[in-house]
Amino acid sequence: MDLRSSVEIITEWDIVAARQLGRNEAKKAGFGTVDQARITTAISELARNIYLYAGKGKIEIERVTDNGKFGIKIIASDEGPGIPDLRKVMEDGFSTSGGLGAGMPGVKRLMDEFKVVSETGAGTTITTTKWLH
């Protein structure tokens, strides 16, 4: 069993591929339908942000354990322009593209752990984890 799998995000179709991978991994890891939907949705948001704002990047999905807990970790990384104001993008409704601005704050609510590292001009890495309860 592969503990880690990944999808390169280059075209719009890769967004679909990434969330399909996520859905399958979530199912295999034993998540229920609601958590499967949460994980799939989170991946879709992160992959689309890469496609829209960074041009290309990568979604990695990994099984993780910690102290007897099991979970799925998603790492979304790109070498795009970075996010200048992290606080702003975590607000509901903030968008530079006419979107709903629901993606980033939404992913944070859908998942259990959420971390953004971003450097202007160098890229963005978002790491987010969902634990099996």
Partner 1 sequence: MNARIPILKLNEVLIVSIQWELDDQTAIQFQEDLLNKMHKTAALGVVIDLTPIDFIDSFIAKVLGDVINMTGLMGAKVVITGIQPAVAITLIELGIRLSNVMTALDLENGLDKLYKELEA
Ligand X SMILES: Nc1ncnc2c1ncn2[C@@H]1O[C@H](COP(=O)(O)OP(=O)(O)OP(=O)(O)O)[C@@H](O)[C@H]1O
Give the angle 58-63-67 at the CA atoms, nearest 5°: 135
Of the ranges 5-13, 41-49, 54-62, 75-83, which one interacts with Mg ion (CB under 5 A)? 41-49
Question: Cβ closer to partner 1: 66 or 92?
Answer: 92
Enumerate the β-bridge partners of residue 59: 7, 76
- Contact present, 42 and 35 (Cβ < 8 Å): no
Candidate list 36, 40, 44, 49; residue touching Mg ion; CB under 5 A? 49
Q: Which two tokens stand for residue 51?
A: 């496609």
CA distance from start to end of the chain:
22
Distance between CA atoms of residues 124 and 57, nearest Å = 9
- Find the largest Cα–Cα distance for the chain: 42
Stretch that binds partner 1, among 1-9, 71-79, 96-104, 123-131 (CB under 8 A): 96-104
Tell me the closest approach of the beta carbon of residue 132 to ligand X, in angstroms: 26
Residues interacting with ligand X, by CB under 6 A? Answer: 45, 49-50, 53-54, 78, 80-81, 83, 89, 94-97, 99-104, 124
Residues that bind partner 1 (CB under 8 A): 12-13, 15-16, 19-20, 23, 33-34, 36-38, 40-41, 44-45, 48, 92, 99-100, 102-103, 105-106, 109-110
